[in-house]
Amino acid sequence: MADERRHNGQPLLEVTDLRVHFPVREGLLSRARVVVQAVNGVSLALGRGEVFGLVGESGCGKTTLGRAVVGLAPVLSGQIRFAGGNLIGLTGRAAQERARRIQLIFQDPYSSLHPRKTVRDLVGIGLKLHGLATGYEIDEQVLTILEGVGLGLDHLYRYAHEFSGGQRQRIALARALVLKPELLILDEPTSALDVSVQAQILNLLKELRREFNLTYLFISHNLGVVRYMSQRIGVMYLGHIVEMGPTESIFLRSHHPYTRVLLSALPSLDPDAPSQRQVLSGEPPTPINPPPGCPFAPRCPSVQDICCREKPELRQRGEEPTHLCACHFPISNGK
């Protein structure tokens, strides 16, 4: 599968040194402005047909990164290119075309569907707005795509509240796919669902990717889910990608201490082999005043002086050339 990415030279999505900062006012009355550095110099590239998993804890900037790609977050600097063309600062027709080709699936299927519209309108509105179909064609295309996500004719004229969480997420998928997008940004698509339903949706996502030749940017905090879905993984911490590489390489031979901690926190279902949770002290620092050196330094179990002064760069640390890690003292692999 990884070959699909390599034989097609140009990446579908290419993010270079992206920075997204939000100015916020501190306190209700104070005039002092501070800046939340949500994404702080992130670079990544997605090949056509690839599933790239982005993991990290809340506030690490993974959602902001996804939103920046669809133009929903203010980009301070850096580049986002899609199929060779620039994505930053698009307006008019170009922005509309991007809106069709890149679709975003939200975490909460309860708040992301209009409560007063029928499924036919929810799914069909995109076709109408983009001028892709009219009248009866809309119904036809909506029905075809609904069948593709496991719903059918008898769901066409119902409202969102009549559906369960899993079915709503199917509707959200249909709404995205009816526009024949190339890239899907999935922001925690199964976090609001129960495990048995989550399994159904994950399997559906895999089928759809094959069927429609889609590329996924899969954002999640759940490592088990990301491992199941992705070919490559990027681990984010405080606005930075601290480690990135092929899924198995990350899971079996991670170099970054933070990745190690995250992996150790994966719950083990085997009572005879309980997970050896590494308990970190402290909490992630705020992205308002990130530490000057390595973002993970204040919590890192193996921190040294240099870590607090110099930001480590993301580069190859082991044998795998596509496995990158930003750490002054990467963990070498003999375990």
Interface residues toward other proteins, by CB under 8 A: 57-58, 164-166, 194-200, 202-203, 206, 221, 224-225, 227-229, 247, 261-262, 265-272, 274-275, 277-281, 283-284
Compute the least distance from the CB of residue 276 to other proteins, in Å.
Answer: 11
Compute the least distance from the CB of residue 148 to other proteins, in Å.
Answer: 17
CB nearer to other proteins: give 202 or 308: 202
Compute the least distance from the CB of residue 251 to other proteins, in Å.
Answer: 9
CB nearer to other proteins: give 92 or 267: 267
CB nearer to other proteins: give 111 or 164: 164
CB nearer to other proteins: give 78 or 291: 291
Separation CA 24–CA 18 (nearest Å): 19
CB nearer to other proteins: give 141 or 259: 259
Separation CA 225–CA 165 (nearest Å): 18
Compute the least distance from the CB of residue 16 to other proteins, in Å.
Answer: 28
CB nearer to other proteins: give 132 or 202: 202
What are the structure tokens assigned to 46, written together?
């997605």
Separation CA 69–CA 51 (nearest Å): 16
Compute the least distance from the CB of residue 88 to other proteins, in Å.
Answer: 30
CB nearer to other proteins: give 139 or 159: 159
Separation CA 3–CA 68 (nearest Å): 28
Separation CA 290–CA 311 (nearest Å): 11
Compute the least distance from the CB of residue 268 to other proteins, in Å.
Answer: 6
The backbone torsions φ and ψ at residue 33, rounded to the nearest 5 degrees and listed phi first, read -105, 135
Could you give the angle at the alpha carbon of 47 between the alpha carbons of 42 and 50, nearest 5°?
Answer: 100
Compute the least distance from the CB of residue 240 to other proteins, in Å.
Answer: 16
CB nearer to other proteins: give 156 or 204: 204
CB nearer to other proteins: give 98 or 155: 155
Compute the least distance from the CB of residue 281 to other proteins, in Å.
Answer: 8
Separation CA 241–CA 108 (nearest Å): 25
The backbone torsions φ and ψ at residue 254, rounded to the nearest 5 degrees and listed phi first, read -75, 145
Could you give the angle at the alpha carbon of 212 between the alpha carbons of 207 and 215, nearest 5°?
Answer: 85
Compute the least distance from the CB of residue 27 to other proteins, in Å.
Answer: 12
What are the structure tokens assigned to 160, written together?
């969102």
63 to each of 59, 114, 179, 212, 332, how far by Cα in Å? 8, 22, 23, 24, 30
